[in-house]
Amino acid sequence: MTVTRSALANGLTVVSHRMPEVETVSLGIWIGAGSRSEQPAEHGVAHFLEHMAFKGTRRRSAREIVEEIEAAGGDLNAATSVDSTGYYARVLQADLPLALDILSDIILEPRFDGAELARERDVILQEIAASSDSPDDIAYDFLSEAAYPDQPVGRPILGTAQSVLGFERNHLGAYLTAHYHAPNMVLAAAGAVDHAVLVAEAERRLAGLSSEPTPIPQRAVYVGGRRQSAKPFEQTHLMIALEAPAYHQPDYFKSQILAGALGGGMSSRLFQEVRERRGLCYSVYAFSSGLTDSGMFVVHAAGAPDKTDELFSVIRNELEQAADRGFDQTELARVKAQLKMGLLAALESSSARAEQLARHSLFCGRVLTTAELIERIEAVGTADLQALLQKVLGSPLSLATVGPIANLARFEAVADKFAVPASRAA
């Protein structure tokens, strides 16, 4: 594996991984600022800015942007998350200069045309409306709000209809000016890439980025709480969260393995007990998400409204039994194999690899080697999982439900019991 890392004079990190067997190159510019970097009056502006970047620059119209990249057979996209925003493309090796020219153009010289802004505002309002029709999206937004109340990390990335309606070009420009600085950005590429060429193109197009530091976002503080929507869906969606290790903490990889053992596939404990043995739902899974300063261990399931209390109770009992009795070597080996498979499979995708390079550079300060990642996975033992689960179950409960609950009193009783740490549960 050939990973090369450089830095421009203004502080921009340039990192690449040459993959000799690949004929295309995936590249992108990632900014270490997303929805968590917004002030209260800016809720949704990071996502709005990402949309508007494609709607014209001083040199290109919105149509010209897509026509140029597609004429070369490439594609262009972007995404906003809680802690970062990425603009990326995939092209043939010879077209790397074109792709970087377009990417740098939309970041450095967005026009924020009034007519385009009005149209894109309507598009985002439809995106918000679509999210409001999705019980999964509603539940996760509620869960984040319950876990991190009155904090940027607890707010929906898309913003609200009210906040989006209030944005004008000056709001977008102010956010870009405050956060799109070279020390807070990474240019990453993977595939058929020559690092020297990548650096030379970056010097040509991105040397003008500000070298000033960016504002430090508000620290995330996990609190816990409950949110409920009685929207009349056919199923009731249940999301449970407890505090988990942050991205930088030593226990982060333990939390990934813990989530896999409990709800990471058809052989996991939750799937076998909740679906296979009891038939309480079609899908149940667990995952652990991490920010740089906090994290959540999440279980998601959806079932019949008249069995929501039973579904919740079975999930709770499975977690508490695992904390009490521990895990065996067979399931630990299975989850480790799954994680290693996912890690190595991602290395075969130039797009996934470029994003991994960027995230490691932004949030770890360096690119972690595959051997290092596998070593961290292999170092986890069954006792580590049990100890971590006991700790996780001692944190405040975050709970989100979307849909009707037939036996609300019994459901609330289960929730109240869940809030008691496993070591003190009756």
**3-state DSSP assignment of residue 303:** strand
**3-state DSSP assignment of residue 326:** coil
Question: Can you spell out the DSSP letters for 310-368?
Answer: HHHHHHHHHHHHHHHH---HHHHHHHHHHHHHHHHHHTT-HHHHHHHHHHHHHHHSSPP
- Indicate if 50 belongs to the active site: yes
**3-state DSSP assignment of residue 178:** helix
Q: CB neighbours of 39 closer than 8 A, spacing ≥ 6?
A: none
Alpha-carbon gap, residue 411 to 397, rounded angstroms: 14
Q: Which residue has the tokens 């079932």?
A: 303
DSSP-assigned letter for residue 110: B
User: Which of these is catalytic: 50, 243, 320, 331?
Assistant: 50
Alpha-carbon gap, residue 312 to 317, rounded angstroms: 9
Alpha-carbon gap, residue 372 to 355, rounded angstroms: 18
Q: Are 236 and 302 in contact (CB under 8 A)?
A: yes
**Four-residue CA torsion sign, 229, 235, 236, 242:** negative
Which one, of 220, 252, 263, lies nearest residue 373 by Cα? Answer: 252
Q: Structure tokens of 396?
A: 């405040």
Q: In b/e form, how buried is each residue of 149-184, taking b as 16+ CB within 10 angstroms? A: eebbbbbbbbbeeebbebbeeebbeebbebbbbbbb
Which residues are known to be catalytic? 50
